[in-house]
Structure 1
Amino acid sequence: MTDLNRLFFALEIPKARQQEIVRWRAAHFPPEAGKPVAAANLHMTLAFLGEVSAEKQQALVDLAGRIRQPGFTLRLDDAGQWPRSRVAWLGTRQPPRGLLQLAAMLRAQAARSGCWQSPQPFHPHITLLRQTDSALRLPAPGFCWECPVTEFVLYASRFSQGRTRYQPLQRFALDKES
C-alpha cells in the first residue's frame, strides 16, 4: 500500500506578521465570532493537491523547482466572509500579477499531474476564522500589511490529537523582485 500525504502549495506568512494579524483579529472579532485559525497555520494556499503518493509528490516537487518567476509584494488590505463555508478571510484588493501567475502555474501543474483542482477561480486569501456566525461584522477598511514574497512552500497537512498542523516539506525560491 502506498502512503499518501495531504499536500498543498502555499505562501508562508512571516511569524512576526502572523502575530500582528492574530492581535488585529482579536481586536476586531469577538471570541464568539468563530473558531480562530492558529497563528502557525496562517498561510495563503496557491494550489491544493489533496492526497498524493510519494511518486507523484516527487514529480510535483520537480515541476515546482523549475518555476522561474520574480518575487513580489503581497498587500493584505481586504477582509470578507463566505457565509456558505462559514469562513472569515483576509486578502488583497489588487492581487499582484506574480501571485496570480504563480498560482495558475502550480494549479495547472497539479491538474496535469492528476491532482484534484477546485473548479472555483483562485481567490487569494488567508483563513482567519472557521465556523463563523452569519451575522459576523467585518472590520472597516484601513488596515494593511505588506509581505515580501521570495518563496513558496510545499506543505503537508497533518491531523493529530484533535489539531491540524501544516508542516513545510520543501521551499522554492523565487527570483529577486524586478
Structure 2
Amino acid sequence: MATQRLFFALELPDTLQQQLVQWRADCFPAEAGTPVAAANLHLTLAFLGDVSDTTAARLQQLAARITQPAFTLDLDDAGHWPRPGVVWLGCQRAPRGLLQLADLLRAQAARHGCAQSAQPFHPHITLLRHATEQVALPPRQFHWRCDIQHFALLASVFRQGRTRYQAVARWPLRAASGV
C-alpha cells in the first residue's frame, strides 16, 4: 500500500519567508545550526506521519468541512530546544483560532490512526536544525504579523538528497467577522 509522509500546516507568504531568512542570517552565525530552506518554513498544525492514500483522502474530506475563522499570527517569540537541536520562532500568545484549528486537525488525525504527541501544542516555525547548545537567541526586538487565510496538507518529499514540502491540498479559512 502506498503511503506519503504528511502533515497539516500553515504556509508562510513568500515575503515573510524571505524576511525571516534575512533576519536569521543577520542574527545567527553560520555555525549556529543548519538553516531550514525558505520554501520549507511553515508552522505545523498536526503531524500525520506515513499515511495511506485512503487515510489521506479521508482526512482531506474532513479538513474541507472545517469552518474556522481566519486569524492574525504575531511572531514575537524565539527559543532553542537543545535536545532536538532546534531554534524556533513562535508567538508569545497564540491566537484562539490557531489553537482551535490545531486541536480540530489533531483530533481528526488521532481518530484516523495518526499518533499525536502527548506534548501540548506549541506553535512554532523551525528556523535552524542541529543547533549547537551555545546558540544565542537575539534580543526581543522582533515582531512579524501574518494574516492567516488558509491551511494546507503538506507532503514531505525527499529527492536528490533534499527534503522539500509540497502542498497536497489547501483550504480557506472563513473571513473573520468584523468586531
TM-score, normalising length from structure 2? 0.98
Do residues 105 (structure 1) and 104 (structure 2) align? yes
Do residues 167 (structure 1) and 166 (structure 2) align? yes
Q: Which residue of 1 aligns with 2:117?
A: 118
The root-mean-square deviation of aligned C-alpha atoms, in Å, is 0.5
Offset of 1:162 from its aligned partner?
A: 1.1
Runs of 4+ in 1 over 2 A off after TM superposition: none
Q: Which residue of 1 aligns with 2:20?
A: 21
Q: After superposition, what is the alpha-carbon deviation per residue over 1:9-37, rounded to whole angstroms, capped at 9, x for unaligned? A: 00000000000000000000000000000
Q: Which residue of 2 aligns with 1:33?
A: 32
Query: Within 5 A, what are the aligned runs for 1:1-178?
Result: 2-178=1-177
**Stretches of structure 2 lacking an aligned partner (at least 5 in a row):** none
Fraction of identical pairs, as percent: 60
CA–CA separation in structure 2 for the residues paired with 1:122 and 1:164: 24
TM-score, normalising length from structure 1? 0.98
Count of aligned residue pairs for this structure pair: 177
Deviates more, 1:8-17 or 1:113-122: 113-122
**Stretches of structure 1 lacking an aligned partner (at least 5 in a row):** none
Q: After superposition, what is the alpha-carbon deviation per residue over 1:62-93, rounded to whole angstroms, capped at 9, x for unaligned? A: 11011011100001000000001000000000
Offset of 1:114 from its aligned partner?
A: 0.7
CA–CA separation in structure 2 for the residues paired with 1:70 and 1:133: 38
CA–CA separation in structure 1 for the residues paired with 2:46 and 2:130: 23
